[in-house]
Amino acid sequence: MELAIELASQEEALFIFGAGDAHLRQIRDGLDIQVAARNGVIRIEGDEGLVRRAEQLLKDMAEVYRAGDPLPDLYVESRLARIKADDEREKGGAEESGSPDAKQRKLTPQERATVRSLARSKGQEGYIEAIIRNELIFCIGPAGTGKTYLAVRLAVDGLRSGDYQKLILCRPAVEAGEKLGFLPGDFQAKVNPYLQPLYDALNDVLGMEQVKRYIEREIIEIIPLAYMRGRTLNNAFIILDEGQNTTASQMKMFLTRLGMGSKVVANGDVTQFDLPEEQLSGLVHAAPLMKDIHGIAWVELEKMDIVRHPLVKKIVEAYEAAENNSTPKGQ
């Protein structure tokens, strides 16, 4: 197969080609295809599957340039390593099918470095590895265990590396002690307080100005869960926060938004429900249904994974002790 990619400008071409066309040579040698560039046009020739992957890689690099971001170190090497890992996993699929743990592929050196740099506990290490290895990840754990922050951090890394074209963060707008109708402002002003924790996590990872730019370009969406209805999202990293406050039907709706090339992380704290007492949580309901499906991971974080202020762990223990009618540790 042969195809051509026309670049928008000389500056974009220089960005994508790399110093001395180094990036093009890496793609050529890494995928064993023919790559040539002339007058702002890249021509690729070879096996159809590999040509298509090279095309996507080059287009993703163009998106990085147009977003005004620098190309991360080892960007091309990382993408090529991931392509090879995916190919190996697909080739071995017939032999490896069966249990949910059958395809626990080895992490690439860069993925291992990511785990080491982000994880601050054994539980977090398992959570990060689950996100890297699977397409759908459920995570439950108490406040302060990094459920949202780590997912956002990996999602942003995926945006920067070109693995995903869009990041979507959503939350159920459940009334916790206050009625939406009594809050001031229009509908958007009423739901913004529910979404603020997602903005906080993004601002911490990207900075407020970059977050604003990505939202304006619709690369990032921060929305109430209800806004997900009717959508199918391809090449997106999708995070559901506070999943314990979804109903079973809402969770089903959310999970079926998964499109090709996308990843979904659904997290929550099953000790903090804002649903009516008689309402079954969608996160709790999903657990037994999804546990044996290949490509889906279920992670449970514990008190020892809390990485906030040291008092947060004691607060969690105090509430647990009250529920169990026992004395909290360290008191």
269 and 151 belong to one structural domain: yes
37 and 145 belong to one structural domain: no
156 and 24 belong to one structural domain: no
% of the chain beyond a pLDDT of 70: 83
Boundaries of domain holding 87: 2-91
117 and 80 belong to one structural domain: no
What length does the chain have? Answer: 331
Confirm whether 101 is domain-assigned: no
Confirm whether 195 is domain-assigned: yes
> In terms of DSSP H, where are the helices of 186-297?
187-206, 208-216, 248-255, 282-290
Do residues 89 and 103 make contact, with C-beta atoms less than 8 angstroms apart? yes
User: pTM of the predicted model, to two decimals?
Assistant: 0.65
- Give 38's pLDDT tier (boundaries 50, 70, 90): confident
117 and 252 belong to one structural domain: yes
41 and 176 belong to one structural domain: no
Which CATH number covers residue 155? Answer: 3.40.50.300
* pLDDT at res. 154: 93
Which CATH number covers residue 82? Answer: 3.30.1370.10
pLDDT at residue 27 is higher than 70: yes
pLDDT at residue 210 is higher than 50: yes
pLDDT at residue 185 is higher than 60: no
Query: Is 216 in a helix, a strand, or coil?
Result: helix
- Selected residue with higher pLDDT from 285 and 272: 285
288 and 176 belong to one structural domain: yes
194 and 53 belong to one structural domain: no
* pLDDT at res. 92: 55
The separation between the first and the last C-alpha atoms of the chain, rounded to the nearest angstrom, is: 70
Confirm whether 96 is domain-assigned: no
Alpha-carbon distance of 16 to 19, in angstroms, equals 9
The tokens describing 245, both together, are 């406050």
pLDDT at residue 128 is higher than 90: yes
Domain count, the chain: 2
Mean pLDDT, the chain, rounded, equals 81
115 and 82 belong to one structural domain: no
- Selected residue with higher pLDDT from 173 and 180: 173
Mean pLDDT along residues 90-115: 60
- Give 68's pLDDT tier (boundaries 50, 70, 90): confident
54 and 143 belong to one structural domain: no
